[in-house]
Structure 1
Amino acid sequence: MTDPEQVDWRPGASADTLRQRARLKRLLRETLDARDWLEIDAPVLIDSPDFEPNIALFRATLPDDTPAGSLHSSPELTMKRLLAACPDLPGAYYLGPVFRANEAGRRHNPEFTMLEWYDNGATLESAIATTLALIQSAREALGLSPAPVERRDYGALFRRHGALDPYHADTDTLAQAAGRHGIDVADPADMARDDWLDLLMSLVIEPRLDPTSLTVVTGYPASQAAMARLQTTRFEGREIRTAARFEVYGGGLELANGYHELVDPDEQARRLDSAGSRQPSPSQQRFLAALAHGLPECSGVAMGVDRLLMWLTGAEDIDAVLPFSARRV
């Protein structure tokens, strides 16, 4: 018989943290239910709609090794189809597991809990307000005082901490900036421009965000929001195109990502085509058909519940807020 003292069989999270986790999930549901939003059960097994090229999906197969799709990384397509079919709904949300392959570490687990919602009629600013209100309510529920809030512009952050213009810098300039900050990449030739921007954001800028504050970042490049509207603005006197997107950080930890959603079916089809998926999958075709039917003006937000609990409790490792992380399964 296996000696229980020699095997790491216990949960990563303590009993107190598991109670806080349950309290947090109840709060999120109660808050959104009070808005008369509809909670939906999105399908977990999908037909591999790779809208986001940088997200690796878990592939599923039948017993005879026939491909059977993938585990979803987001319920986005089905939730937007729901709003297109039921435009009188004030909003809809999903609270449950999502999956991303090749994501493991102190802040990542291949299976994690996502709260994703779509607010009918919401602008980007109202989506930011809803996100901050949810987070502040979560702090209150766990006995914490409200956190200060800062607003930061993506371009200004790169200028301040990276000494560059992220909208016009070429790949070589971004690679050189990474080198100045001691960032070593095994295969730099495989790095696209947005890969360098993401790397600089995560390793140079995020650690410099105020650890005690909620920071809202806006002004992301147009190339970094496949399903968001685009807008024209200016940076350092030059006209630029940015995405109607925001991210909320707790300290240097990314908590939520939101879009003012693209509702133009022709533009969405063009973006899908430019991503390399020349023949849309059945679920993508259904999604594009829903857009053609008419998606209400809306904003969507995805919030990592495990990440949020890490920030609320001061945990340094996601294992400490999960019953059983991938390390313990």
Structure 2
Amino acid sequence: MPRPSPDTPDWRPGADRATLVARARLKRVLRDALDRRDSLEVDPPALIRSGDFEPHIALFRVSDPEGIPAGSLHSSPELMMKRLLCAHPTLPGIHYLGPVFRAGEAGARHNPEFTMLEWYETGADLDAAISTTLDLIQAARRALDLATAPVERQDYGVLFRERLGLDPYRADSAVLERTARLSGVAVHEPQRLGRDDWLDLLMSTVIEPSFPDDRLTVVRGFPASQAAMARLETIDFEGHPVQVAARFEVFGGKLELANGYHELGDPAEQARRLPTSAAARSTDDRSRRLFLEALAHGLPDCSGVAMGFDRLVMWLTGRPTLDTVLPFSEPRV
């Protein structure tokens, strides 16, 4: 019998039995793989006293029964996990597998509540973080009796030059807007988009859809402006030095699966990069202060990676939407 659309409320879950079994199996496999690396599973709080640390991620605000603000639901356990590492720098690594929350996210690849695997590996640079990420994904494939996926490594600047004919490190907003228009990308209120917004839009609508479905694509060399909590490094691009973020993303086919950093540990530099608007200062002073105090105490050299578990299940099972891999997506709740 056909399953109803989530647009038509129905008591049944979106994920079928085989997908539920796959989810459970993959959680065990990922936990076991990290356990073998001596990574410690931790339980950071979901309810935090924090404002929006990422400009494009909105948090759910929580109030007590009398309407008094009580904090926010975390969109990532990052701040608390780094504070744990600052307190216990000799840990080989820590990881979290559980729910996170992002307001306003809905669609085939988004849901306001989703499952994230996030881990921090001490002593690991960006190359080591990429290796760990690929190892975990390949282990997940084996758990579902899938062949090892081929891996293609790409440079952010080269992708923009080859696919769009521009230098993403030097092109201004006007050039990026014109390129988007010529690429058939329609934008409502384009005047509200900044340079990084245009880069993100071109990446998601033009470049990512060109990635082969059957392989993993690793992209690195993101502009320095696109990593609030990553170290910076200098590369050579087309004969001139460019400062980029020590950041990578891994795609399964056209689907972004993971985002990783060689983590920034300098508290002064981190303070400069955190949101500075009046709204941000009024909501996250306490959280900001405690996080920066932890960094001042000392964050061990480490890499951190966040992987969307539900998207991983989508790619491995060939399911078309998050609704078909979640027990209950938001429209079914």
Equivalent positions of 1:134-283 (< 5 A) are 134-272=136-274, 277-278=280-281, 281-283=285-287
Pick aligned residue for 1:19 from 18, 21, 26: 21
SS at match of 1:281: helix
CA contact (8 A) 1:59 1:70 kept: yes
Letter in 2 for 1:149: V
Equivalent positions of 1:46-85 (< 5 A) are 46-85=48-87
CA contact (8 A) 1:92 1:117 kept: yes
Q: What residue ranges of structure 1 are gaps of 5+ in the alignment?
A: none
Q: CA–CA distance in 1 between the matches of 2:168 and 2:35?
A: 40
CA contact (8 A) 1:121 1:296 kept: yes
Q: CA–CA distance in 2 between the matches of 1:17 and 1:273?
A: 39
Pick aligned residue for 2:323 from 312, 319, 322: 319
Report the equivalent of 1:289.
Answer: 293
**Over 3 Å off, 4+ runs:** 273-280
Q: CA–CA distance in 2 between the matches of 1:12 and 1:91?
A: 34
Report the equivalent of 1:104.
Answer: 106
Q: When the two structures are superposed, what TM-score results if normalisation uses the length of structure 2?
A: 0.95
Letter in 2 for 1:72: H
1:280-327 CA distance string (max 9 Å, x none)? 521111110111001100000000000000000111111111000001
- Give the C-alpha shift of residue 161 in structure 1: 1.2
Q: CA–CA distance in 2 between the matches of 1:184 and 1:211?
A: 25
1:157-201 CA distance string (max 9 Å, x none)? 111111111111111111111101111111111111111111111
CA contact (8 A) 1:53 1:275 kept: no
- Give the C-alpha shift of residue 273 in structure 1: 5.4
CA contact (8 A) 1:158 1:165 kept: yes
Worse overlay, 144-153 or 52-61? 52-61
Find out whether 1:116 has 2:129 as its counterpart.
no
- Give the C-alpha shift of residue 26 in structure 1: 0.6
Letter in 2 for 1:180: L
Letter in 1 for 2:252: G
Q: What residue ranges of structure 2 are gaps of 5+ in the alignment?
A: none
Identity %: 66
SS at match of 1:167: coil
Q: CA–CA distance in 2 between the matches of 1:206 and 1:178?
A: 14
Q: What root-mean-square deviation, in Å, do the aligned CA atoms of Structure 1 and Structure 2 show? A: 1.5
Q: How many residue pairs were aligned? A: 325
CA contact (8 A) 2:53 2:275 kept: no
Equivalent positions of 1:292-311 (< 5 A) are 292-311=296-315
- Give the C-alpha shift of residue 64 in structure 1: 2.4
Pick aligned residue for 1:127 from 120, 126, 129: 129
SS at match of 1:97: strand
Q: CA–CA distance in 1 between the matches of 2:226 and 2:9?
A: 43
Find out whether 1:41 has 2:64 as its counterpart.
no
